[in-house]
Chain A
Amino acid sequence: MAELQLKSHRFRTEREADWRRLESLLGRVQRNGATGLMPDELLEVPVLYRQALSSLSLARAVSLDQELILYLESLCARAYFFVYGVRSRPAERVTRFFTQDWPAAVRSLWCETLVSAAIGVVAALVGYFLVAQDPDWFNALMPGAMAQGRDPSATTDFLASTLHQKLSGHEALELLATFLFTHNSQTAIFAFALGFALCLPSAALIAFNGATIGAFLALFASRGLLAPAIGWLMIHGVTELFAITLAGAAGLSLGWAATFPGERTRLEAIGQAGRRGGLVMAGVIVMLFCAALLEGFARQLVQADLARYAIAAATAVAWGGYFYGPWRRRRP
C-alpha cells in the first residue's frame, strides 16, 4: 500500500517500541521511585530519553500527526525531569543539611541576623523602660492570654511562684512542650513569609516580640525578681529567641532582595533569598523543637536559678559554635 510508504508513518513504526519502553520505565519510576528499576534499566533511561528527544525534533519536521507530537512532548518532558532531577538519598540529604547547608545559610545571613537581633533588643529595652516608668504600659504590650495573671496588680508572692512552680504530681509536660512547639513554629514561618511584604511586617513582629519580653522583665524587676526571671526565660529563650531572630532575618533578606535586587534581576534575587530562607526556616523549626523541649521539660524539672543559667549558657555556646565556629568547611 502506497500510504505505508509515508515517511512519517515509517518514522513512527521504526521508533515506537523505544518510546513505549521509555514510557513503561518512567511509569515504574513514578510508582515505586528510582529503586523500582534495575541498575541496567536505570542506565537505559538517559539513552532512551535522548532518542525520544531526537525523535521529537524529527517529528516536528516530518510529521503532521498532532497526537504523535503531543505524545512525544509529554514523554520527553517526563523523562527530562527524571534524568535531570538528580536526587540523593534522604539520609544523605539530611546529613548534608546539618553538616553544611544549614550552617552555611545561617552564616550568610549574618548581616540580617544582626539587624533582626538589634530590632529585638531595642524593642525589649523600650518595652522595659516604658513599663518601668509607668506600669500601665504593661497591659498595652502584653497580650492578656500570654500574661496568665502575671500583671502589675499581682502580688509579689504570686509572681515569684510562677517562676518556680513545683511539680504537682503528674503534670502534662509533654503536652505543654508540644503546644509551644507547634505555636512557635507557625509564628516563625509566618514571620519569614511576612518578610516578602518589604521587610516591615517581619520587623514589626520581631519588635513586638521584643517589647513583650522587655515588659515582662520590667514587671519582675519592679519586685526585685529580675535575676530569677531571666533564668526562667533564658533556659529555653536562648534557643527560641535565636530561632525567631533567624526567622526574622530570613524574612528581612527576602524583603531586602525584593526591594533592592542589586545587579541581579528582581526575580532572580528574590528566588535566591527565598531558597536560602527556606533552608534557614527548615532549621529554625528544628531549633524551636529543641526550645520547646527545654521549655516544657527542663524548665519545669530544673528549679535552681544557677542551673538554669548554666543550661542557658551551654545552649548559647552550642548554637554559636555550631553556626559560627571555626570548623573546616568543604566547599560545595
Chain B
Amino acid sequence: MKRPRIVLRPASGTFSFGGRPFVTPEGVDLGLTVGAYTERLAAFILDLLILLAALIAFTILTGLAAWAAKSRLFGEAATLIWLLGAFVLRNFYFIGFELRGGAATPGKRAMGLRLIARDGGRLTADAVFARNAMRELEIFLPASFIFARGAGVDGALIALGALWSLVFVVFPLFNRDRLRLGDIAAGTMVIKAPKTVLRRDLLQDAPATVGGVAFTQTQLDAYGIKELHVLEQVLRRGDRRTIAEVARRIRGKIAWDGPLDVTDQSFLAAYYSALRGRLEGQALLGRRRRDKYDRA
C-alpha cells in the first residue's frame, strides 16, 4: 500500500507574493517571505556606502598617523596597515557580519532582511564564504567591463563582455527565490525578517455594540475575512479621513438605523469587534468566509 502524501498547508490560506513554504521540524509553516530584488539592491548600495565611508575614514586615519609620526618607518607601517585593512574590509565586511547571530550586514538589517540556509539548517561559515566570494563575479567583473575603455574591435568586445556579465547582475530576477549566483553556490537565500511589534488587541477597548444597540445577523453577514483585515488596518492606522469614509460606506451597506451620535472611530471599532466575533465563531465551526462574495 502506498503511504498517503502529507501536504502541509498553512491554515491562513494562500501565500502573499514572494511567500515560500518553510516548514519547521515541528511541522509548522513559518510563512517566510523572500526578500525583494529592490530591497536587496538598496541594502547592497547601503553596505557599499558604509564600506566606502569606512575606507575613507581609515585612509585619513592612517594618513594622519603617518604624517604625525614624520618618520619613514612609520610611513611604511601606515601603508602596510592600509593595504591589509582595505583587503580585510573588502573581503570580510560581508562575511563578518553575516556570520554573526543576526546573519545580516548593516545594510540588510536596515532593510529588514536576513540570510538563511535554504534547507533551513545551520548557516555555516563555508556557505557565507562561498556566497561572498561569488561577489567578485557579480560585481567586480561587470564593473571592470564598464570602466574598461577601448576603440574598434576592443570596444565591441568590451561591450559584449559587459552584456555577458550583466547576466549575473539581473540573475535574481529570473528565479522564484530571488537567488543571486552566490546564493546558489552557497545554498542560501535572503528573506524578510522585519521586527514586528504586538500592539493592543483592537477588541480590548471596544464594546461590540453602538450605544447599547447590537448589530443584527444580516448586518454582520455583509462582510468576510478579507474586509475584516482591511478594517483592522484602517483602525490601526487611525487616519481620520479614511475612517470617516469607511464608516460612511459601512453604514450605507448595512443600512445602519441605530444611534448616529457616536464618533466614526467608535462605530468602526464596535463593528470590527462584532464582525470578528461572528466570523471567528463561524471559523470555529469550520466555515471560513473568505470575503463578502463568499456566500454559503
Q: A interface vs B, CB < 8 Å?
A: 1-4, 6-9, 12, 16, 19-20, 29-30, 33-34, 50, 53-54, 56-57, 60-71, 73-78, 80-82, 84-87, 93, 97, 101, 105, 170, 172, 174-175, 178-179, 181-182, 185-186, 189-190, 192-194, 196-197, 254, 267-268, 270-279, 281-282
Question: Which one of B28, B128, B140 has the greatest number of beta carbons of chain A within 10 Å?
Answer: B28
Contact A84 B122 (CB under 8 A): yes
Q: Which residues from B are CB-within-8-Å of A101?
A: 126
Least Cβ–Cβ distance between B210 and chain A, in angstroms: 13
Closest chain B residue to A182, Cβ basis: B87
Known: A65-B232, A66-B229, A277-B133. 11 other contacts (CB 8 A): A30-B102, A69-B12, A81-B114, A82-B101, A84-B120, A97-B125, A182-B86, A193-B137, A271-B185, A274-B185, A282-B126
Task: Tell me which of B101, B118, B202 contacts A34 (CB under 8 A).
Answer: B101
Q: Does B238 contact A (CB under 8 A)?
A: no
Q: B interface vs A, CB < 8 Å?
A: 10-12, 24-26, 28, 30-32, 73, 76-77, 79-80, 83-84, 86-87, 91, 100-103, 114, 116, 118, 120-131, 133-137, 140, 181, 184-187, 191, 193-199, 201-204, 206-208, 225, 228-229, 232-233, 236, 273, 276-277, 279-280, 283-284
Q: Could you tell me the distance between the alpha carbons of A321 and B104 in the complex, rounded to whole angstroms?
A: 38
Least Cβ–Cβ distance between A248 and chain B, in angstroms: 13
Task: Count CB-based A-B contacts (< 8 Å).
Answer: 201
Closest chain A residue to B73, Cβ basis: A170
Question: Taking A12-B201, A86-B122, A182-B87 as contacts, is the C-beta distance between A193 and B280 under 8 angstroms?
Answer: no
Question: Which one of A9, A65, A81, A86 has the greatest number of beta carbons of chain B within 10 Å?
Answer: A81
Closest chain A residue to B273, Cβ basis: A3
Q: Which residues from A are CB-within-8-Å of B283?
A: 61-62, 64
Closest chain B residue to A94, Cβ basis: B125
Contact A281 B203 (CB under 8 A): no
Least Cβ–Cβ distance between A212 and chain B, in angstroms: 20
Task: Tell me which of A33, A64, A170 contacts B225 (CB under 8 A).
Answer: A64
Task: Tell me which of B84, B126, B140, B199 contacts A279 (CB under 8 A).
Answer: B126
Contact B280 A8 (CB under 8 A): yes
Q: Chain A: interface secondary structure?
A: helix
Q: Could you tell me the distance between the alpha carbons of A108 and B245 in the complex, rounded to whole angstroms?
A: 68
Q: Could you tell me the distance between the alpha carbons of A62 and B197 in the complex, rounded to whole angstroms?
A: 20
Contact B273 A62 (CB under 8 A): no
Contact A64 B11 (CB under 8 A): no
Q: Which residues from B are CB-within-8-Å of A63?
A: 280
Least Cβ–Cβ distance between B64 and chain A, in angstroms: 19
Q: Could you tell me the distance between the alpha carbons of A97 and B129 in the complex, rounded to whole angstroms?
A: 13
Q: List 20 A-B contacts (CB under 8 A).
A: A6-B276, A20-B198, A62-B283, A64-B283, A67-B196, A76-B28, A77-B32, A80-B24, A85-B103, A85-B123, A175-B79, A178-B80, A270-B184, A271-B185, A274-B134, A275-B185, A277-B133, A278-B130, A278-B185, A282-B129
